[in-house]
Structure 1
Amino acid sequence: MDDINKVIGQNLADLRKSSHLTLAQISEEIGVTHSYLSKLEAGKIKKPSFENLNAIADYFNVDLSYFATEKAELNKMSEEERDLVFSKKLSLDVIEKADIIDSNGNKITKDEREFMLNALKNYRESKAKFLESTSTEEE
């Protein structure tokens, strides 16, 4: 994996820019300094606070795993796939509403949806543990 700090920073910058927000707007809403967010985007915070990353994820309504996912992996996903994979509220209902088809063009079955839900939960847990292990509680 690329330097995790750069991955976090790039993903934060991409989310912020796509939402047409400034660092000042975000920092005011989540209670961190503009300088902290600027350094985080630049990949210069070597052990970003897990608490701060969670606050940023909540602010953008994405799962924390988004920040530990490399850009190349994100670029392989359609917008709908990204919305599903990184939805803050992951549930079977969310997966059932998504128009997911298999490689043969058939809608996925209920068993496949349940498998997908469990796989996504495991994916998120592993990414969260990874982020937590590389972070600190200090700003």
Structure 2
Amino acid sequence: MHALTADDHALVRAASDLLVRAYDDRNHRVAAAVRGASGEVHLGLHLASTRVNICAEPSAIANARMAGENGLDTIVAVGMGADGLPKVINPCGVCRELVPHYGEGLRVIVDDAGEIGVIAPADLLPIPWVRAQSYDN
């Protein structure tokens, strides 16, 4: 795991600021921020209903792509801690599969037992799911 840079800390702050503004225990429990290759920061918010949940990370990635980003540099998600303050959280299983799809070089900010640092997408899901091959007979 690598230490956070000043830009990484700014990305965490951007996601945290969004979570503080939009937090709702039923509808918006997580916020995410992704820095595009351009250096621009794009935000995402967890969306929930009684049947459907959309993670914050895909929301941020979608916003970056809609803004014309051709590459992504770093991503982070934050959730509200027990103390009422945002804290870095790790991607869920679905996001662990999704995030690497958007770049092997993408940096992911995570919490490893209280130590906040940066890892590679391959470290999120070291043995990724692969689609079964179809065979033409």
Return the TM-score normalized by structure 1.
0.24
Greater fraction helix: 1
Return the TM-score normalized by structure 2.
0.24
Greater fraction strand: 2
Task: Return the structure number with greater relative CO, CA threshold 8 A, min gap 6.
Answer: 1
Please identify the structure whose Cα radius of gyration is greater.
1
